[in-house]
Amino acid sequence: MSFPEVPSLLPVPFRTLLYREVHRFFIVINQTLLAPVISALLYLFIFGFSLGDRFGSFHGYNYLLFLVPGLVMMGLVNNSFQNPSSSLMISKFEGNIVDILMAPIGHGEIILGYMLGGMFRGLLVGTCILVVSCLFAIPPFSHPFYLVAVALLSSGLFSLLGIVAGIWAEKFDDLAMFPTFIITPLTYLGGVFYSISILPPLWRTVSLLNPLLYMINALRFGFLGVSDVNPGWSLAALAILDAALFGICLTMLRTGYRLRK
């Protein structure tokens, strides 16, 4: 499968890094694209078709439509995180991270290269999941511009988190902690498969501490126009978190944290 060319107007070192980050997941497209799409299809069949009638409707929409935004977000955040985190970890393991650090490329450009590569993969997977989902249920796309903004900010946030994890981790077991103990639990408990309105008051309050809840509901608001939380606050919080994580990544690179030994 071919992959897009990076615009030639960009500086050569930055373009090379971005090209590599996009190319590395295209050469194993069966794992990076087909696998998450098939997983989303299984969720659609198991929950949407098999159990959907038992769940009834949420916010006036049938369960299948309610499920689609959550599955799109789940694929988006997981793949946005995996691309830069695994790339950095492999570079550290093989010892060629030094080549990147010594190349004539700024720290900001390094972060942007890894970040945009992760965003591209996450958005591509999310789009493919949406396209496949539309074969069964087409959402109304109530707020398309808000939807695009949430998708971009969410993929950017988890790409930056992937950079932080890739720099911080010293072995692959360290890296596996993030999806296993942080991202996956928060995603499943963030309202992918249910609305927090059905939870008891105590657990509803606890759920509000989950940042993934706001991201999933923000995307759901863009698709369906309904949300369990304030969509305006969700967008503002995403923008602030993106800026904060970018600053953390920049500091880690400038100080050589766990990169220079």
The answer on pLDDT for 63 being more than 70 is yes
The chain-wide mean pLDDT, for the chain, equals 91
Q: Whole-angstrom Cα distance, residue 11 to residue 38? A: 37
Task: Name the token pair of 199.
Answer: 């939870």
Q: Does pTM surpass 0.85? A: yes
Judge whether residue 40 has pLDDT over 90. yes
Provide the b/e sequence for 24-33 (b: ≥16 CB within 10 Å).
Answer: bbbeeeeebb
- The predicted structure's pLDDT at residue 249: 97
Percent of the chain with pLDDT over 70: 95
- Greatest pairwise CA separation for the chain in angstroms: 59
Rounded to an integer, what distance in angstroms lies between the CA atom of residue 141 and that of residue 152? 16
44-53, 64-73, 78-87, 93-102 — which is least confidently predicted? Answer: 44-53
Looking at residue 229, its pLDDT comes to 92
Asked whether 223 and 64 are in contact (CB, 8 A), the reply is no
Instruction: State the DSSP string of 12-76.
Output: HHHHHHHHHHHHHHHTTHIIIIIHHHHHHHHHIIIIIIISHHHH-EETTEEHHHHHHHHHHHHHH
pLDDT-derived band at 56 (thresholds 50, 70, 90) equals confident
Mean of the pLDDT values across residues 198-215?
Answer: 93
pLDDT score for 11: 84
Stretch (H or E) spanning 147: helix 144-168
C-alpha dihedral (143, 146, 148, 149), degrees to nearest 10:
180
pLDDT for 159 equals 98
pLDDT (0 to 100) of residue 46: 85
- Alpha-carbon distance values, 71 to 39, 62, 134 (Å): 9, 15, 12
Residue 12's pLDDT is 87
Residue 3 binned pLDDT confidence (cut-offs 50, 70, 90): low
Q: What pLDDT is stored for residue 103 in this prediction?
A: 87
